[in-house]
Structure formats: C-alpha cells, structure tokens
A and B are shown apart, each in its own frame.
Chain A
C-alpha cells in the first residue's frame, strides 16, 4: 500500500477495485464469461450494496425490538449461537 506518496498506482487501484467486485453478489450474478465490469459499475454497485446492508441492520433492529421483552437470554446462548453460525 502506498505509504510515502499520496499517488496510487494503476495496479494497486485495479487490484482494490477487483477485490471489491468479488464481494458484490449482484454483480457476479449471471456474469458468465463476460468482460469484467467497469470501475464505475463496481463502485455504484458497492454503494447500493452497502445501503442495502445498512437497511437490513435497521430492519433487524426493529425485529429485535418487537421480541426483546420475550427474550430469555442465558449465558450459554452466545456460545450456542456462535456454533450455529459456524455451520
């Protein structure tokens, strides 16, 4: 990663953009063998993906609000849930 200078090389930039692209589910959907998406497309898709995820967090917070009073959280729940999540 360019530490001394502020300029970023083309290779570094491409590598970072490509990596972002691999994280986006919508982008890779049905992309069989076609040319790789443009940087602009990747950035645009990244923004909408982040917005989607942030909204999911909001919605899930609301869901948890609804069932909070009936939640009986025991000390072993964290471990149990983590194991569930590992699968």
Chain B
C-alpha cells in the first residue's frame, strides 16, 4: 500500500470518521413526518451524500483548491434552495470571479502545446474547482482528490458494514 508523503491517512481517516458519524447521527434524528414518501427518502439520501462530501472536505488539513471549491459549491447550493427567487448576488459574483480566473489560465493551456487538452478538460469537470486550475495545479489536486476519495469510500464501506448486522 503506497504511503503518500503529503497525506496522512491515519488522521484523515479518523477526522472523517468522527465528522461523518456525527453528521449521520443528526440526520437520523431528523425524523420526517412522512418517512415513506419518495421525496422525503430522496431528501434523506441527499443529506447523507452531502454530509459525506462535506465531512471529507472539512477533514482536509492542507490548503487544497478542490476541498474549498467543494465546500463553496455545497454552500451556494443550499443558499439557492432556501432563496429560490432572490437570485443571490454573492453566488453570481463568485461565478464571475471563477470565470475570470479560468480565462487567465486558458493561455496556460494553449501554451502547453501538448496533445491532451481534451482529456485535461474532462478531468477539469470531475475535480471540484478544476475549471479554475492551471495544468500543474490540476494534476497535483487530482492526486490528492483521488487519495481522499478512496479514503472516503473505504470509511463509508466500513461504517455501512459495521451497522448493517
């Protein structure tokens, strides 16, 4: 099992486990009135998934673009749901800022003169905040993101196995 230099799997695992279990306890306590309606069931599923992603993003210690981007995305999504008609300016302003920085980085992509721009673009869609990263950051952030994803999957599996007796 490769032991990465920048990521300490031991403490990341324990931080994520603690946070995620805490979130699950809260979700479990939120008993809906009609727990059998498909809407309620889906909402609960969404809450669990968001809790998993949020817990992981918060558990990241080092300064990472992807985790910040993920938290920003989750936060702005919840704002939009609460205020569907207001068209929050802060969300739009943030989008404008992100568009601007990605324009600054398109020159990087063209200057690279490498033959894998398409694949890099596809990767940008998958890594949170990828659209704003230059190639160097993208590759670095991707490696860290993958390590965190595998940790997330491993812990969630353990938890599901543990509680499904």
Residues of A within 8 A of B (CB): 1-2, 6-8, 12-13, 16-17, 19-20, 22-23, 39-40, 43-44, 46-47, 49-51, 53-54, 56-58, 60-73, 77-79, 81-82, 84-86
Please tell me if B64 contacts chain A, counting CB pairs below 8 Å.
Answer: no
CB-nearest residue of chain B relative to A80?
A: B162
List B residues 136-165 near A (Cβ within 8 Å): 136, 139-140, 142-143, 145-147, 149-150, 152-160, 162-164
Q: Main secondary structure on chain A at its contact with chain B?
A: helix
* Sample of 13 A–B contacts (CB below 8 Å): A6-B108, A20-B139, A23-B147, A44-B119, A46-B123, A46-B146, A47-B123, A56-B153, A57-B156, A61-B48, A70-B163, A78-B17, A82-B14
- B142-A73 in contact (CB<8A): no
The 8 Å CB contact of B146, one of A50, A58, A82, is: A50
Q: Is the CB of A47 within 8 A of B126?
A: yes
Asked if B17 and A57 make an inter-chain contact with CB atoms under 8 angstroms apart, the answer reads: no
CB contacts (< 8 Å) of A79 on chain B: these are 14
Number of CB contacts from chain A to chain B under 8 A: 150
Q: Determine the chain A residues whose CB is within 8 A of the CB of B146 once the complex forms.
A: 20, 23, 46, 49-50, 53
Cβ-defined contact, A86 with B10, below 8 A: yes
